[in-house]
Chain A
């Protein structure tokens, strides 16, 4: 599998660490309460097809990356730096 790092370009997937859903970008406010954190920590959609995920370019530039990937075909559609995705969301 090849992953396009927004900084390093296309690299072998062995350089990356997979972290799961990009939901982790949206940490609740500290006062949002236990329910909100429960949802943030444990509750995940599990869709077939397109997923929004977090990958870490561990052996490379050490960027956290938000990737859109079809988990059925393993095709990547878009990758962007987590810091940019966060900025864009605001």
Chain B
């Protein structure tokens, strides 16, 4: 198994300018290798979500360097970054964020359609396969807003997986779920990490969750204090 670096942050600084100039990230440097199941832990306001948005290429106003798949990402054009997000990063958010206008199946397919590597039939098959992993195949034709919170989150994870991303990033993916669903979600992540060698980077403030991951990066006041 090749253990090359998939994500690397070098000396990332981030400032917020309103209402006053405050430094939220201070010289953040770390790297993640293929197959790692990493959690970022810290109290609310320590900058862990901000860091995640920078790592996910959605936030581009920072200083320092970011490499994804050993490729320099900092200062690339926004349409290039869109492509990187589409192809190499899968997202799972705290609030599920499915497209309510579409069915569950379509939600899972949309990033794949956007990438355009497979045709519609192939994608449909692949999307059903991903839904099957999470036991959601029976809900494929429902609208996204007919699902429960836990179900939505499972669909969101299926969507994150559709393009076989290099890394899955999660922003408190279980933060809005009860204990039972939270455990299911964790179970899914764990399974992805062990069975599919999927790289995962999950931001959480839940110490129990963090403890069960392979590696925990602890942040405090914009700094990494252990990793």
A and B: real partners? no
Q: Which residues of B contact A (CB under 8 A)?
A: none
Q: Which residues of A contact B (CB under 8 A)?
A: none
